[in-house]
A and B are shown apart, each in its own frame.
Chain A
Amino acid sequence: MPAVSLTVNGKAVTADVDPRTLLVQFLREHLRLTGTHVGCDTSQCGACLVHINGVAVKSCTTLVLQAEGANVLTIEGLAAPDGPLHPMQEAFRENHGLQCGFCTPGMVMSAVDMVRRKGHDLDEHTIRQELDGNLCRCTGYHNIVKAIAAGAKAMKGSSPAA
């Protein structure tokens, strides 16, 4: 089995893997980082969103071998283990930007990526447009959009995600 070496949430990881292993499977089943979810498994819903080298990708449509040498950030790595929540997580909590919570990790990772690409002042139209690849089956978009706008502002001045 081929070996893969990557950094996940700041920790170096090396493993022998079946080449078919998807990044999301590796995160959930090998590393037990179950915050990243599998929703549709067809790269549409965004529940599996993680960052590879700072850029949001769908981990259900990426082989872990494609992440060789990469820096992967999951929802678990967004805030320090014992520290306060990341400003975007805090904004989701504050604005009740979730209903069942299944899509939330992907929503938060998508939102942080949105701030990287579009800046801190996000209007509703931009947020809805850029949230194209994240589905909430509870249709809780109203508060999700509010949370992202607030989180984007709160991220101003805070250090960028690891």
Chain B
Amino acid sequence: MSKVIDHAPLYLLSSEHMPPTDGRLIGARFQWFGSDSESRYQAAPHPVFKPDDVSYHFNAQGYRCPEFAQDKIDKELTVVAIGASEVLGTGLPEDQVFGHLFARRLENHLQRPIKYFNLGMGGASADYVSRTLASALPVLKPDIVLLVFPYYGRREHINSLGKVFLFNSQDAGVRLKNRFIDPENHSQIKAHVTLSSDYNDQMNFYKNYLFCEMLCERQQVSWLYSATRVAFFKHIQHLINPKQLVSRCLGDLKSKYQDEPSIGLGRDLVHPGSAPHKEVADDFFENFNRLYADKFGIY
């Protein structure tokens, strides 16, 4: 077997390096990203967000956050959030994404500096969440971890050359396009479709959740988790830790604002907007307060 663990460029399961996300994002700055594209905006402009209102700045490892290698300030706390595009904040300015809002609210409340690292990645899966957490804990040494589990039918696959493929069982349309544009991706997707089943999805989802729960408990970090939709946890209710669950989820809250796309949706008119993100940030804060007030001297 070739040596793949803790090796450049992927730094899989490294306890010294954060794994890079996507090579195209390293140090990049974009005005448009993913589903938040210029062509989509021109076809259906957001009522509030203009082209210059949202930009995406990625650090040297391809995450939408500050560089990791920064000295810790006295009494500073570190918060990381891991998940998919909702966590990354597709369609929103950085300072309106729930993780950022949570960090700022906590900063005001504790009167302590808070450093926030957004480890969201578009299209990511529970596989990505657990893999990233495995490195984030020893490398970034966060005090607080916020996890948002994406759709359970998603998977991550890394081929023998270290190329990462993201699979989403809901994405039937992309599959046909990929057959001609990206045949290698297409064969991976075909294999995933063959192996996709409710059993496998639920097992994989639970295993990743359990892996994350165990790592957080072992590291004794303060942690909370949610999902794009709370229904993802429906079948594993008896297995998950209810105390840490933030049950009002970004995807579910979108429907609350379906008549107000200006605040219900991001600039791409697909992802959750500023209002769901603010509500989720508040929920994360309330849950955090409930569980960890004593630990952090919150009164």
Question: Do the two shown chains form a genuine complex with each other?
Answer: no
